[in-house]
Amino acid sequence: MKFGIVVNEGPYQHQASDSAYLFAKAAIEKGHEVWRVFFYHDGVNNASKLTEPPQDDRNIVTRWAKLAEEHKIDLVVCVAAALRRGIKEENLAQGFRISGLGQLVEAGIKCDRLVTFGD
């Protein structure tokens, strides 16, 4: 099965990003494909390279980037939501890209399931 994932919440104020990441990882381990993760609303904060969690905490941004690199997952950040929150190309962590809502629509069309995490 081919999955698209939408993350609507930031990395450290809500469980949505952790849940989405664990879902993606479990789906891949079961032989499914995660084709695209679309970061929307406050979820765009998952893509900021300016995030510096304490050494004893998980680095959510790095986890997403590593998973995407290992499994060829497209990590898309909504341009309008990103700009509202001060995130531009130069602030993006490696592995993420900025694009529009058309990428979310495309994921809904091309994937068997589109799973949303967060409000």
Quick one: pLDDT at residue 13?
A: 87
Does 78 participate in catalysis according to the annotation?
yes
Taking domain 2-99+112-117, whether its CATH number is 3.40.1260.10 is answered by yes
For residue 114, the 8-state DSSP code is E
Would you say 51 and 11 are in contact if contact means Cβ atoms under 8 Å apart? yes
CA-CA-CA-CA torsion for 99, 111, 2, 63, nearest 10 degrees? 20
pTM score? 0.96
Residues of the chain with pLDDT under 50: none
């995030």: which residue's tokens? 51
Which helix (H) or strand (E) segment is 113 a member of? strand 113-117
- Catalytic residue, chosen from 78, 79, 81, 87, is 78
**Domain boundaries defined on the chain:** 2-99+112-117
pLDDT tens digit sequence for 96-112: 999 999 999 999 999 99
Identify which of 71, 87, 69 has the alpha carbon closest to the alpha carbon of residue 11. 87
Quick one: pLDDT at residue 25?
A: 98
